[in-house]
């Protein structure tokens, strides 16, 4: 899940993306090449002494959230119409906030499908649904619909979703629990925030620095989630041991496996005296973006 | 707690410490200067193109755990007798394992007091002692004895200790619970592993990359820890809200405050919708060493 930081990634050839003096992303060289064509929006600094990894700055004359968002959106619509980038074919009409690291100051927003072109962080929320039957722990696992554009048919957490502009974290959680698993708000609202997992991966579509807020939702023993908006095809109720075995396979969507691994660590299902990769697990789950 | 990674640290002038081809630490320049005097044990590579941050390799002829440990110990005893380094005045007669990152293969051991001179990772275990009274959470907090060589009089977790050569993690936990807080083994053994916190700080004594395995111990409501070997002067039973307020002060030993912060995050006492530094907290608690 941290392929962007491994040898062979495009990391060394990406340009830093600066907005209002703050680093907010990493732009692959193929994208920088196109941004040269929009000099009124993007300033591309080519520093030959630093190699190809230079810097792209959003025009500092775009001095407000609204001005920045609108100017970039116009460029993205143009790039989309020119059909240059695969990810823009998955246009969502959904905006994500663009923020510097460790800040709640949002600088602009950006169409969700375009964020991998700028290596802009995406934030989401994932929910572990579980309960104890006596001393035996069980977890609800979802299987993604075969019609999902990403990771069709793979295993997922009980509910999860990206955090869109204007939405809170818990608010997103309650919405996704309702839409994906028909969990009433009165139950979803009991979910407890328990941390986050973060990682950066790269695909042919771009760079994905992602941070998932993690919530644990202890469900009533007799509660059964139901398929809602069709993003999930089925829910399974598995003993924790089966969940533990399965996250090591390719049947799980990778970031959902990380969320389950974090659950197993936090709830004492992994013994550091027995597991030689214990610290690698914990540190790997929390990569600074 | 991550001062080694901040501007102004000695990071840029430290030498990599290699044992059997593996990086196991960072050696400050003042220490490297002395190691030149032991060419049969340490090979100092000065690479002028790389600046002062070169590399110190343990003589590869020292081909076994025992040979390496003995040769380095002899050097350390000599440095101690020459009274060159403050940390060696706190000689412990206790050995720590020297391991590459993410490996359970130990390469040698080293006197505990000397590890900061080589920036060798130290491993420890910390125990959060807590219980619920109805819906109200309480936590046991220790105040360190005024005679402790480090952080005298500051607040600490219920029990904690470094992991010495030959000791397991849970084994160390049970020993420290008994010695420091008179907790019987039958109770201490219920502690659950829940993750780790890691950080690297620097002081005048050297470089401290530390990793603490964290355990939660839910105590019986009527259990009261007692002062044991004199490392603790007093135990306090505090409502969680008071603990939360106090970790932001300088009254806590810094790494113990991190362990409590991790507890607060994992148990849902911090709301990411309200706390702008939530992700900084979580990522800061899990710095790769």
The answer to whether B169 faces chain A, any CB pair under 8 Å, is yes
The answer to whether A166 faces chain B, any CB pair under 8 Å, is no
The answer to whether A52 faces chain B, any CB pair under 8 Å, is no
The answer to whether A278 faces chain B, any CB pair under 8 Å, is yes
Place of tokens 């049947």: A251
Tokens of B125: 């275990």
SS3 (DSSP) at B6: coil
ipTM: 0.89
The answer to whether A287 faces chain B, any CB pair under 8 Å, is yes
The answer to whether A254 faces chain B, any CB pair under 8 Å, is no
Inspect the interface and report whether the beta carbons of B194 and A267 lie closer than 8 Å.
Answer: yes
Residues 6+ apart with CB under 8 A from B56: B15, B16, B17, B18, B27, B32, B35, B42, B43, B44, B45
Contact list, B104 vs chain A (CB under 8 Å): 276
The answer to whether B283 faces chain A, any CB pair under 8 Å, is yes
Say which of A195, A271, A288 has its CB closest to residue B266: A195
Work out the angle at residue A284's Cα, subtended by the Cα atoms of residues A273 and A258, and round it to the nearest 5 degrees.
Answer: 90
CA distance B275 to chain A (A): 9
Q: What percent of chain B has pLDDT over 90?
A: 81
The answer to whether B66 faces chain A, any CB pair under 8 Å, is no
Say which of B213, B267, B283 has its CB closest to residue A286: B283
Q: Which helix (H) or strand (E) holds B131?
A: strand B122-133
Give the residue from A169, A266, A270, A287 with the most B CB atoms within 10 Å of its CB, the best one to mutate. A266
Which pTM was predicted? 0.91
In this structure, is the dihedral angle defined by the CA atoms of residues A248, A236, A157 and B287, taken in order, positive or negative? Answer: negative
The answer to whether B172 faces chain A, any CB pair under 8 Å, is no
What confidence tier does B11 reach under pLDDT thresholds 50, 70, 90? confident
Average pLDDT, chain B: 93
| Residues A57-80 pLDDT 10s | 999 999 999 999 999 999 999 999
Inspect the interface and report whether the beta carbons of B193 and A270 lie closer than 8 Å.
Answer: yes
Place of tokens 């607040």: B155
Give the residue from B212, B262, B282 with the most A CB atoms within 10 Å of its CB, the best one to mutate. B282
Work out the angle at residue B213's Cα, subtended by the Cα atoms of residues B211 and B218, and round it to the nearest 5 degrees.
Answer: 150
The answer to whether B212 faces chain A, any CB pair under 8 Å, is no
Question: What residue of A is the nearest CA neighbor of B276?
Answer: A104
- Give B128's strand partners: B216
In this prediction, residue A49 carries a pLDDT of 55
pLDDT digits (tens), chain A, 289 positions: 778 877 788 888 899 999 999 999 999 999 999 999 999 999 998 765 554 558 999 999 999 999 999 999 999 999 999 999 999 999 999 999 999 876 778 999 999 999 999 999 999 999 999 999 998 999 999 999 999 888 999 999 999 999 988 899 999 999 999 999 999 999 999 999 999 999 999 999 999 999 999 999 999 999 999 998 888 999 999 999 999 999 999 999 999 999 999 999 999 999 999 998 999 999 999 988 7
Question: If you count residue pairs, one on A and one on B, with CB atoms under 8 Å apart, how many are there?
Answer: 90
SS3 (DSSP) at B278: helix
Contact list, B287 vs chain A (CB under 8 Å): 283, 288
The answer to whether B115 faces chain A, any CB pair under 8 Å, is no
Question: What residue of B is the nearest CA neighbor of A284?
Answer: B288
Inspect the interface and report whether the beta carbons of B195 and A288 lie closer than 8 Å.
Answer: no
Indicate the length of chain B as a whole number: 289
The answer to whether B190 faces chain A, any CB pair under 8 Å, is no
In this prediction, residue A50 carries a pLDDT of 52
> How many angstroms separate the CA atoms of A115 and A208, rounded?
8
In this prediction, residue A15 carries a pLDDT of 92
What confidence tier does B220 reach under pLDDT thresholds 50, 70, 90? very high
In this prediction, residue A47 carries a pLDDT of 66
The answer to whether A167 faces chain B, any CB pair under 8 Å, is no
Contact list, A214 vs chain B (CB under 8 Å): none
What confidence tier does B50 reach under pLDDT thresholds 50, 70, 90? low
CA distances (Å), origin B102, targets A132, B72, B192: 33, 23, 22
> Buried b vs exposed e over B211-235: b needs ≥16 C-beta within 10 Å?
bbbbbbbebeeeeebebbeebbeeb
What count of other Cβ atoms lies within 10 Å of the Cβ of residue A218? 14
What is the rounded (10 degree) CA torsion for B248, B252, B253, B255? -40
Inspect the interface and report whether the beta carbons of B193 and A285 lie closer than 8 Å.
Answer: no
Say which of B193, B211, B266 has its CB closest to residue A194: B266
Work out the angle at residue A264's Cα, subtended by the Cα atoms of residues B253 and A167, and round it to the nearest 5 degrees.
Answer: 80
**CB of A240 closer than 8 Å to CB of A132:** no
Inspect the interface and report whether the beta carbons of B103 and A276 lie closer than 8 Å.
Answer: yes
Is the per-residue pLDDT at B95 higher than 70? yes
The answer to whether B272 faces chain A, any CB pair under 8 Å, is yes
Say which of A104, A192, A279 has its CB closest to residue B196: A279
């Amino acid at each position: 899940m941290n392929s962007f930081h491994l040898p062979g990634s495009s990391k060394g050839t990406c340009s830093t993306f600066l907005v209002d003096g703050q680093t907010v992303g990493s732009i692959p060289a193929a994208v920088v090449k196109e941004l040269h064509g929009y000099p009124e929006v993007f300033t591309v600094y080519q520093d030959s002494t630093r190699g190809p990894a230079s810097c792209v700055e959003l025009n500092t004359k775009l001095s407000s959230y609204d001005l920045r968002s609108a100017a970039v959106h116009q460029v993205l619509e143009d790039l989309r119409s020119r059909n240059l980038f695969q990810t823009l074919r998955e246009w969502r009409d959904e905006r994500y906030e663009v923020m510097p690291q460790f800040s709640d100051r949002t600088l602009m927003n950006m169409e969700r499908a375009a964020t991998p072109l700028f290596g802009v962080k995406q934030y989401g929320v994932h929910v572990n649904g579980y309960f104890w039957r006596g001393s035996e722990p069980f977890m609800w696992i979802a299987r993604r619909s075969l019609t999902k554009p990403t990771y069709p048919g793979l295993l997922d957490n009980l509910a999860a979703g990206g955090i869109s502009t204007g939405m809170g974290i818990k608010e997103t959680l309650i919405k996704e629990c309702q839409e994906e698993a028909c969990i009433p708000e009165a139950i979803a609202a009991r979910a407890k925030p328990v941390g986050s997992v973060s990682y950066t991966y790269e695909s042919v579509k771009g760079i994905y620095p992602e941070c998932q807020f993690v919530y644990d939702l202890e469900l009533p023993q007799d509660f059964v989630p139901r398929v809602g908006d069709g993003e999930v095809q089925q829910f399974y109720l598995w003993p924790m041991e089966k969940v533990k075995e399965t996250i090591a396979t390719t049947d799980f969507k990778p970031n959902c496996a990380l969320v389950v691994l974090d659950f197993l660590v936090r709830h004492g299902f992994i013994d550091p005296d027995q597991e030689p990769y214990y610290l690698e697990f914990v540190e790997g789950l929390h990569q600074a973006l």
